[in-house]
Amino acid sequence: MIRRRVVVRGTVQGVFFRASCQQEAARHGVAGWVSNRPDGAVEAVFEGEDAAVEALVAWCRQGPPRAAVDAVEVAEEELEGLRGFGVR
């Protein structure tokens, strides 16, 4: 089990990034949350099996069809034992 915090920059707000991310997380069985940031980026936290979390991080590099991802920052964090996946 691992935890990653991801900040995605580019055209990522107003393109269903959060809703699509929530669907991907459910598909992979990953817990956490995703949120729009005031600076125009999207921030997310993923917790789960290594391969599932890495799949979500990889998905963030492209995002949903209307997104244009310019950069993705990924940070390792300590597990908190999150359950479910929320949109903030």
Active site amino acids: 18, 36
Angle at 20 between CA 85 and CA 10, to 5 degrees: 110
Whole-Å CA distances, 16 to 9, 28, 67, 78: 14, 18, 8, 28
> Cβ atoms within 10 A of the Cβ of 41, count?
19
Q: Are 62 and 10 in contact (CB under 8 A)?
A: no
